[in-house]
Each structure stands twice: as C-alpha cells, then as structure tokens.
Structure 1
Amino acid sequence: MNGYITLGSIALLFLAMYVYSYGSVYLDLQAEKRTIKEINERKEAMRRLKMRKQRQREEKFQKMYNRSQEIKKRLKELERDKVLIAQKFKNNIKIELMKKNLHKPTQQQTG
C-alpha cells in the first residue's frame, strides 16, 4: 500500500511540474491572443475613424464644390445683366441723340 502512495505522490509531483511548466506557456499564449485581439480592435476603430473622417471630407468638399458652382452661376448672371444694362444704356443714348437730331431745325441753304 505504501508503494502506491509513493507512486501516486511521484505521479502528482510530475503532473504538478508539467502543469507548472506548460501553465506559463498557456498563460503567455492567452495574453498574446488577448493582445492581438486588442490590436485588431484598435485597428478596426482606426479604420472606422478614418472612414468617418473621409466621409466628412467628402461632404465638405461636395458642399464647397456646390457653393463654387452657385457662385459661378451667379457671376454669369451678373455678367449677363451687366451686358444687358450696357446695351440698354447704349440704346437710350442712341434714342436721345435721334430725338435731338429730330428737334434741331434744318439749316436752309442760301443760293
């Protein structure tokens, strides 16, 4: 009976040494997996942040582009209005000159 107890004690000793030696390896692997998981989560968070910022930049660019197009359109309208006003002013001057010419008495030639 004492032999079985001694044999069991030795078996428990070897089992404890095995668990102790590979237990640290197991804990290191678990810590490494946890670290990799955290790194992947951070990468994913950074990727989502970059995508959100890219969307914000695109929206801002689109707003600026639309505003630029509105300004160009308005400038074209103002230029067209300027030309129309200039033509109207020019026509009014011509009309005034014609009116003056009609009201001037014609000089008679003496001969």
Structure 2
Amino acid sequence: MDYEVVSPDDRRFNNLVLLVYAIQAISLFTGLPAVIGLIINYLKLSEMRGTRYESHFRWQIRSFWWALVWSVLGGVLSLILVGYLVLGAVWLWFAYRVLRGFIALNDGRAMP
C-alpha cells in the first residue's frame, strides 16, 4: 500500500479549510457565522499561497461575497415578492458551493 506523506502544515491547512466549510454550512441556517469564516479566510490566505488550499480559500471568499450581493438584492426585491425566489436560489447556490468544496477537499483536489 502507498501512503501519502502528510506534513504538519498540510494537516493544519486542511483542518482550517474544513473548519471554514463547516462554518459556512452552519451559516446556511443561521447566517452570521459566515462572517467569521470570511475573517479566517482573509487572515490565513497568505499562509496558503502556493498550495491547493489557497484555491479553497479563494472559493470560500468568492462564495461569501457573491452570496452577500445576491442576498441583498433578494432582500430588496422581496418587497415585490420576486426576491423570495432570489433568496431561495442564493441559498441553494451557496449550499452547492459548500458541498462541492467539501467534496473536493475530501478528495484532495484544488478548486477551479
């Protein structure tokens, strides 16, 4: 059997990316923790440079900002009821991004 050698940094980076995915997943039901995940992303991004984990952090950052933009738009549009469809679509899209990222992390792949 071949075993992959995992450095302490690799394990730490993997755990940190996994933590942010977990925070994002929780935020699907509560909202607020996503900001905590974003702060972690920005504080630790420089340490991730040049690793596959950098792509996960960038994926998480983009997911947060696009979800926020579309959620604000959906909130405004909810005054004319169509916003509720936008908010539902944002929720599904964000859930997809969290799940896709987690699966890629679990498979040891970088994000596009």
Structure (1/2) with the larger helix percentage: 1
Larger radius of gyration: 1
TM score, norm. by length of structure 2: 0.27
Higher relative contact order (CA 8 A, sep 6+): 2
What's the TM-score once normalised by structure 1's chain length? Answer: 0.27
